[in-house]
Amino acid sequence: MRAASGASTNCSRGPSARPPSWTCKTPWYSANEIKIPLYARAGIPEAWVVDVAAERIEVYEDPIAEQYTRVRTASRGDVLTPLQFPNVTVAADEILG
Q: What is the pLDDT of residues 36-50, one digit of tens each?
A: 999 999 999 999 988
Q: How far apart are CA 89 and CA 95, in angstroms?
A: 12
Contact 17, 37 (CB under 8 A): no
| Confidence at 66, pLDDT banded by 50, 70, 90 | confident
Contact 59, 80 (CB under 8 A): yes
For the entire predicted model, the pTM comes to 0.72
Q: What is the mean pLDDT of residues 68-74?
A: 95
